Structure formats: structure tokens, C-alpha cells
Amino acid sequence: MNSRSTQLKAIDRLLTIMEELREQCPWDKKQTLQTLRHLTIEETYELGDAILDNNLEEVKKELGDLLLHIVFYAKIGSETNDFDIADVANEICDKLIHRHPHIYGDVKVEDEEEVKRNWEKLKLKEGKKSVLEGVPKSLPALVKASRIQDKVAGVGFDWEEPQQVFEKVQEELAELQEEVDDANQDKIEAEFGDVLFSMINYARFLKVNPEDALERTNKKFIKRFQYLETKAKEMGKSLQDMTLAEMDVFWNQAKKEN
């Protein structure tokens, strides 16, 4: 791999290119923190896709896109004298040192869970009023639920055994079925949310990332459905003209291949 000096030269090259683009490119000159925001979110999801696909070449490319955005934001910040890339880097360095007293201090820890608990305690000492303040409001609901559960578990608000969580899932499912039977749409939605929340919590105990798990299923479904579409086209039919039994034949074939 590249030496530290080569790595630093590459970062310096990127900073120089960013300065040139900001000065000379009509599009780059017009960008603001606000206009870049949605693009950054898009790039983050593209990185997530590459990681799920285990496509390391794409991971490298998408990391580059995200790094460009970080440099872009820092450049904009420097133009208003609010912060620059050095401030950004030093801020995270200082935070990492402060949040890892078991590495940079004399604190002793037994395992990963104790590290997480200490992390949350340190954040509260830094002035945060709630352990949940660090959960972004704009996160997708599924990811947000996972982060909420991680945060509260970090301060000891948690189940003791996976079986307890599974029993909670079953309890929530039963409550959902009661509301379905009563046909109360508002309560159905509320109980459905409780089921999802408990399932996401159970995933944590199983050491499964629910977002990744669901996306893997999405990708699998897409492959199988597109196989079905291809087979229908080969027969000169549209899906609308096929019976469910006919579609099931190809769906089962697709399951064997994907």
C-alpha cells in the first residue's frame, strides 16, 4: 500500500484541485452547504450499496466521492472564516482522544460493551442533556430506531437475554392482530410500528444490522422478479397476461438460482 508521505501528497493534491474548481468552475463556484447536502446523502447510500455488494473497487470510488464532499464543505467553511479542513481533522482527532481514555488515558476496560458505555457517559459529561441527542432527526426511520436502541443500551437500558426480546416481538404481533381484528386503522399503524421497533431490537441481539438485512432481501427480490420478467418476455407474454400459478413456476426457478 501507499506510504504515509504518498497518502499526504494525495490529500494535498485533492485540496489544490478543490481550490482550483472553486475559483474556476461555474458549477462548483455556485455550490453551498445546502445545495451539496442531498448529493452527500446520495453518495452515502451509493457507498452503502457497494459495501453490501462487497465490490471493493466501487467502495474505493464511492469513498473518493465522499472525501470530495468533505473537502468541498471545508473549503466553503474556509471562505467564511468559520472552519477549514485542518479544523475539521483536529476536531475529530481531539474527540477521538477524549472518547478513548482506555487508549490515551489510564481507564481500564474489559470489552467492547464497556467501551460503548463509557462513550455515552463521556458525551453526557460534555454537556449533552440526553443520550439520544446524537441521533439525527433526518435519519430514515429504520436506521433511527436501530441507533436509538444502541444509544439507550449503552447506558444500561436494555434486555438481558435475546429470548426476552423475542417474546416481546411475539407480544407486539399479538397486539397488532387484535387491532387488525378490530379494524382500527390508527391503532393498526401504531401497533405495526411497535412490531417493527421490537424486530429491530431483536436484530441487535442477533448481531444483525436490520438495514443491511432488509436491503439484501430487496436486492434478492429484485433479481428474482427481473428473472420472472425475462422469462415472461421469452415466452412472448406480459406479466399481466400470466396467471399467478404460471408466475410461481418461474419464481421458484429464480429462487434456486438466486
pLDDT in tens, 173-197: 999 999 999 999 999 999 999 999 9
pLDDT tens figures, 55-69: 999 999 999 999 999
Question: Whole-model pTM above 0.75?
Answer: no
Which residue from 154, 89, 87 is spatially nearest to 116, judged by alpha carbons? 154
Give the separation between CA 252 and CA 254, rounded to whole angstroms: 5
Average of per-residue pLDDT across 223-245? 87
pLDDT of residue 258: 67
pLDDT of residue 177: 96
Q: Looking at this protein, which amino acid is placed at residue 206? A: L
**Residue indicated by cell numbers 436509538:** 148
Q: How many angstroms separate the first and last alpha carbons of the chain?
A: 35
DSSP-assigned letter for residue 240: G
For 86, residues 6+ apart whose C-beta sits below 8 A from its C-beta are none
Give the separation between CA 24 and CA 17, rounded to whole angstroms: 10
pLDDT tens figures, 84-105: 999 999 999 999 998 899 989 8
Question: Is residue 126 over pLDDT 80?
Answer: no
Give the separation between CA 82 and CA 84, rounded to whole angstroms: 7
Question: Is residue 43 over pLDDT 80?
Answer: yes
DSSP SS3 for 63? helix
Counting beta carbons within 10 angstroms of the beta carbon of residue 74, is it exposed (0 to 12), middle (13 to 18) or buried (19 or more)? Answer: buried
Q: Backbone dihedral region of 127: left (phi > 0), alpha (psi from -120 to 50 degrees) or beta?
A: left
> What is the chain's mean pLDDT, rounded?
91
Question: Is residue 123 over pLDDT 80?
Answer: no
User: What radius of gyration, in Å, describes the C-alpha atoms of the chain?
Assistant: 24
Question: Is residue 138 over pLDDT 80?
Answer: yes
Question: Is residue 110 over pLDDT 90?
Answer: no
